Structure 1
Amino acid sequence: MKTRYIFTSLLSASLAVTGCQDMDTLPDGGMFGDAQKENIAEQLPERGVARVNAIFASFSQYFPNSSALGAERHNDIGYPTVMLCTDTNGQDMVSDNNGYNWTGFDLDYSDRENTSLEGQMVWNDMYSIIFAANNVVGSIDENTEDAENMFYLAQGLGARAFAYHVLAQLYQFNYFGHENARCVPLITDKNAEQAAVDGCPTSTVKEIYTQIETDLTKAIDLLGKAEQAKVTRSDKRYISLSVAYGLRARMYLAMQEYAKAADDAKNAIDEAKAEGLAIAAVDAVSAPTFNSSDETNWMWGILINETDGVVTSGICNWPSHMGSLSYGYANYSGGRQISTKLYAEINTNDVRKGWWLDAAGESETLNDEQNEFVDTYGYKPYTQVKFAPYNNVVGTTINASDIPLMRVEEMYLIAAEGYAMSGSADGKKYFDEFVKNRMRVDSNPYASDYTADPQEAVYTQKRIELWGEGLIWFDLMRLGKGVDRRGCGFPNAECIFKIEPTDDILLWRIPEAELQANKQLTTDDSPAWTLPTPVSDN
């Protein structure tokens, strides 16, 4: 059978399906009843495609929450808003709290107030994905035998699981030891209509994870069957079998189910290889990159078109805030730097040392044109030059770079940690293979670190490798690290904190508007906050 690639283009209808959801109230379902569920692929193919595309359109939107916020925020851009917030909350991404930096509230943790605009955006953005995913899941017979419908259904299940896993890690502490703690409302295609009328209480962490595991296990089964029937994704905005395994590997890692996490990471790697994907080699990351889903190490990403609102806005997009080599806010905010403490842990033979300017404000990965641009804007030492501008055009005003959500390298590091923590020697080969593809010479300077403490060694490698990709906050929380910004190079004294791992300022609050709209929530579901007290720098 000839391979069928579905979703060849993002239908304009998908934008009408998604819209800018007003999430001040709980999302209603708009589901088909059981008797009305249709074979979408055969009878109404355009409806199935539009509903699925609506999920992934909701990942990147231009001012999706302006009506709910009563304001236009230039960091209101969909899921990349969450990425910016969480990376800024941590200790590895340094920035100046000035008038051009839209993440100042994340720097000083005032984003934790339940009236904060960032808090409203994060909540709305994640439930917007869930809303769109429920529309897909609720419209397809869960026992469908049609391969395309299996693929559609897997997209809804996988995206819903992804969104709930993000929420679970933001609104409550790590899974292990907090299984019975309150988390977030669990709204699925089964209870969405009732929740819209009666409200929905918070579920426990365990209940949320049970739903995540159920959804991902079903998605993996469906994608495997669809793949056997030669139904595969057309591009990397959609969830493939490798991505579904990767999402479940993340979940099991958070649950401290280390052997399961490692096995799923291995499966993700194997499936990725079947798609022609692999760790980026040294040469591939020896210059600014990470701007296109065509890169062979990307498993999943947010695909951006030049005509998208976030792009035509000019500066209201992820590269504007993050990119040092594009045109945008970063040119005037001073950009983003790596923690000087983390930078010092990168070996001199590690190609990633060049992903940031050194102490002299230079990087051997830059060409003459890039160096001139860096000099023009006077970037400080340790500023990132990891992310290339769109089409590698230095200073471009077309910020249409794709945004990574999952890369093969992460799976190698999950396997390295998972196998080690479950007592298997297999972890070392994944760690060694990863390091080999980042060293300019044939050596592994991190080998002794892995032998001494594999979990800590992997955590360090993740902090380096995945810097700026919106992932490290989740590791910081699951490992109980807390936030210690002393000696990291933060320029604002009021943003230098040492936050203990049990301090509930690390948790996000359910927005006040949601508490008012959802009659089954109480103030106990979104407790009071105490902002952290600045400490002396080292």
Structure 2
Amino acid sequence: MLRKINILLLVFLGTTITSCDDDFLETTPTDAISAVDALADEESMQLILNGLHRGLYSQSQTILPGGQSSRANNHYWVPLGDNLSGGLIHSASANNLGWRTEMQWNSHTDPTSLTCELLWYHRYNIVLGANLLINRATDGTMLESQALYEILGQAYTYRAYAYLSLVQHYAKGYLIGDPATDPGVPLLFSSELPFTSEPRSTVQEVYDQIGADLVDAIAAFEKGTGRPSGGADTKSQLNIDVAYGLLARTALSKGDWETAAEAAVKARENYPLMGEEEWKSGFNSNNLSEVIWGSHVIDAETAFFSSYFYLVSNTFNGSQVRNNPKIADRRLVDAIPDTDYRKDVFFIDAPNTNSSAANNQGGLDSNTGLPRDPNYENDLEGYNARRAEINAIYGITNAYNQHPYMHFKLKNANSGSIDPDDIIYMRSSEMYLIEAEAKAMMDDIAGAQEALRPLGEERDSAYDVTAYNTKEALMEHIKFQRRLELWGEGFGYTDKIRWDEGIDHAADGGSGASEVLYQEAFQVERPSENDDWIFKIPQAEIDANPNLSPADQN
């Protein structure tokens, strides 16, 4: 690709491997590690795979030349989807790690930004690692074994995951553009220096490669050892269920409804829906029954103040959290039935305690000493009592500001701490929603209702899916269920592109966001009319890649 990708191979064969197995260093100096050593046998190949697992959530400077600690890879990229799409709402101007800049759409629209550059190179780093494993496992020199097939299945799945992320961020949405001609991203298959630079493939070509990789992954997994059972760490390993889940996501994003529905059913088979207690536990552990895939964050690789829960939770002990409580769109929360236990994690009546709140209704009036929050007008006692009650429930203190419609869906396991927690990437609930959407789009109303029924009836004691008996009503309800069930888990950006929906914080009574704080991102035209939904290609890539020119910029 370009020089940075060449450097990545050296980093990958050195830094990544040494971070995965200290014993390897006892006999092999860091600067002497080669592709031959790194891929000599299945055990060594597993070290490369372990590096990919850790690279998903490690701080970017540990795996990318020029990386920065403020972007701890999927700690950042996963919640970015809800930050960009306006689902995860900031209540104050407190900034950290560029999180407010992202929310205002001033980062992914800038080709020199860290976000555009680091997401690009992180995903291509995954492609590089996958290529190393795929090319070695399929060159005909290794004996076939279940262990080798398991490694190969994970490598194909990783490559598909990386290319899906790249094409969904750096190209026009499949369903709103012309995938046969729209420029996608470069497809790279090399694992040897020097890399051959490639031009942008079309969106269709990228999707075709993703599909082929997932077919190959599933075939390899069927001959593999299977993912080990055990604790949260085992779900860091990809398996056939993850491959089916990615196939379901890919098919949904391109309108291949039948494949999406079938793959979603296969992906979720071994992951029963969570009950109320698990659902309210904070979404901080791979041990939850629904989790198909997630990163188990180990102490040695914790991201501290760059972590997922620092960016999205209201219980992590950091200034971004204490000064800027994250709230949910009040239009979504108000629509949740009282019989649905998911409503319990959104606190409509939390007092606005922040004197710097963007809506100018926080804190106490300097003249009267009474709350500025109109929900507690002349009621200082009620204001203080409710704040104390919420503090007690969630293990926080008055050092943490509160705000109406703040959430406690996503919370770190040890409230008020900076301890590391897992990052969940795929749950069975998503698969029920994919099946329902796909069947609705195929005009199979009864099938879509039955797909949605288990999830709805688990969450809402009065749920009646038959109330949604037309395609239009059912699709609106499925969208509502996705926004609610997957809130804060990063799906908002790709959902809006697939549905071709814009952002309007002012519509239907308002979301609760501040126009002064959100600036031009307060209202954003839908993706088919606004190319700012597409991430800019890093300027460094265009400058260095001979097969890309300024005309290739999004």
Please indicate, yes or no, whether the TM-score normalized by the shorter chain is above 0.5: yes
CA distance in structure 2 between the aligned counterparts of 1:131 and 1:467, rounded to whole angstroms? 32
Relative to structure 2, which stretch is displaced further, 50-59 or 420-429? 420-429
Corresponding residue for 1:422? 442
Corresponding residue for 2:500? 480
Q: CA deviation at 1:68?
A: 4.9
Where do 1:96-495 residues align within 5 Å? Answer: 96-100=92-96, 102-111=98-107, 112-141=109-138, 145-176=144-175, 177-179=177-179, 180-188=181-189, 191-193=190-192, 196-227=194-225, 232=228, 235-270=234-269, 273=270, 277-285=271-279, 287-310=280-303, 314-361=304-351, 369-371=392-394, 373=396, 375-390=398-413, 393-398=414-419, 400-424=420-444, 425-439=446-460, 441-444=461-464, 447-448=467-468, 452-486=472-506, 487-493=510-516, 494=519, 495=521
1:233-263 Cα distance to aligned partner (Å, 9 max, x none): 6610111111111100011111101011101
Q: CA deviation at 1:45?
A: 3.2
Letter in 1 for 2:464: N
Q: CA deviation at 1:145?
A: 3.3
Q: CA deviation at 1:128?
A: 1.7
8 Å CA contact 1:18–1:54 kept in 2: the answer is: yes
Q: CA deviation at 1:451?
A: 5.7
Letter in 1 for 2:274: A
1:261-311 Cα distance to aligned partner (Å, 9 max, x none): 1011111122xx2xxx211113322x342100011110100110122142x
8 Å CA contact 1:15–1:57 kept in 2: the answer is: no
CA distance in structure 1 between the aligned counterparts of 2:97 and 2:19, rounded to whole angstroms? 32
CA distance in structure 2 between the aligned counterparts of 1:119 and 1:403, rounded to whole angstroms? 22
Letter in 1 for 2:403: K
CA distance in structure 2 between the aligned counterparts of 1:222 and 1:383, rounded to whole angstroms? 45
Give the SS at the match of 2:294: strand
Q: CA deviation at 1:37?
A: 11
Relative to structure 2, which stretch is displaced further, 231-240 or 208-217? 231-240
Give the SS at the match of 1:423: coil
Q: Given the superposition, is the C-alpha separation of residues 395 and 149 from structure 1 closer, same or farther in structure 2, using an over 3 Å criterion?
A: same
Give the SS at the match of 2:459: coil
Higher-Rg structure is 2
Letter in 1 for 2:100: G
8 Å CA contact 2:252–2:260 kept in 1: the answer is: yes
Q: CA deviation at 1:417?
A: 1.2
Q: CA deviation at 1:61?
A: 1.2
CA distance in structure 2 between the aligned counterparts of 1:453 and 1:142, rounded to whole angstroms? 52
Letter in 2 for 1:436: E
Corresponding residue for 1:87? 82
- Which of the residues 526, 532, 537 maps onto 1:500? 526
8 Å CA contact 1:213–1:248 kept in 2: the answer is: yes
8 Å CA contact 1:288–1:355 kept in 2: the answer is: no
Give the SS at the match of 1:267: helix
Instruction: Indicate the structure with greater helix content.
Output: 2
8 Å CA contact 2:273–2:428 kept in 1: the answer is: yes
Give the SS at the match of 1:327: coil
8 Å CA contact 1:147–1:231 kept in 2: the answer is: no
Give the SS at the match of 1:138: helix
Give the SS at the match of 1:278: coil
Q: Given the superposition, is the C-alpha separation of residues 157 and 174 from structure 1 closer, same or farther in structure 2, using an over 3 Å criterion?
A: same
1:5-63 Cα distance to aligned partner (Å, 9 max, x none): xxxxxxx98553799xxxxxxxxxx996xxx899x7xx723312101111111101124
Matching of residue 77 in structure 1 with residue 62 in structure 2:
no
CA distance in structure 2 between the aligned counterparts of 1:384 and 1:118, rounded to whole angstroms? 26
- Which of the residues 16, 22, 31 maps onto 2:18? 16
CA distance in structure 2 between the aligned counterparts of 1:450 and 1:142, rounded to whole angstroms? 53
Letter in 2 for 1:428: Q
1:429-486 Cα distance to aligned partner (Å, 9 max, x none): 12111101111x2433784377643333212211111111112211111111122222
CA distance in structure 2 between the aligned counterparts of 1:162 and 1:511, rounded to whole angstroms? 20
Corresponding residue for 2:57? 60
Q: Given the superposition, is the C-alpha separation of residues 224 and 372 from structure 1 closer, same or farther in structure 2, using an over 3 Å criterion?
A: closer
Q: Given the superposition, is the C-alpha separation of residues 65 and 512 from structure 1 closer, same or farther in structure 2, using an over 3 Å criterion?
A: farther
Q: Given the superposition, is the C-alpha separation of residues 378 and 98 from structure 1 closer, same or farther in structure 2, using an over 3 Å criterion?
A: closer
Q: CA deviation at 1:142?
A: 6.6
Corresponding residue for 2:3? none
CA distance in structure 2 between the aligned counterparts of 1:469 and 1:413, rounded to whole angstroms? 14
Q: Percent identity?
A: 23
Letter in 2 for 1:497: Q
CA distance in structure 1 between the aligned counterparts of 2:449 and 2:37, rounded to whole angstroms? 48
Q: CA deviation at 1:215?
A: 0.3
CA distance in structure 1 between the aligned counterparts of 2:34 and 2:208, rounded to whole angstroms? 22
Aligned residues: 480
Give the SS at the match of 1:183: coil
Letter in 1 for 2:259: K
1:118-142 Cα distance to aligned partner (Å, 9 max, x none): 2112212211221222221122127
Q: TM-score, normalised by structure 2?
A: 0.80
Q: TM-score, normalised by structure 1?
A: 0.82
Q: Given the superposition, is the C-alpha separation of residues 114 and 100 from structure 1 closer, same or farther in structure 2, using an over 3 Å criterion?
A: closer
CA distance in structure 1 between the aligned counterparts of 2:205 and 2:34, rounded to whole angstroms? 23
CA distance in structure 1 between the aligned counterparts of 2:15 and 2:61, rounded to whole angstroms? 17
Q: Any stretches of 5+ residues in structure 2 without a counterpart? A: 1-13, 22-32, 352-384
Letter in 2 for 1:209: Y
Letter in 1 for 2:544: A
CA distance in structure 1 between the aligned counterparts of 2:470 and 2:276, rounded to whole angstroms? 21
Corresponding residue for 1:24? none
Relative to structure 2, which stretch is displaced further, 372-381 or 113-122? 372-381
Q: Any stretches of 5+ residues in structure 1 without a counterpart? A: 1-11, 20-29, 528-538
Q: CA deviation at 1:423?
A: 3.3
8 Å CA contact 1:356–1:363 kept in 2: the answer is: no
8 Å CA contact 2:146–2:223 kept in 1: the answer is: yes
8 Å CA contact 1:335–1:383 kept in 2: the answer is: yes
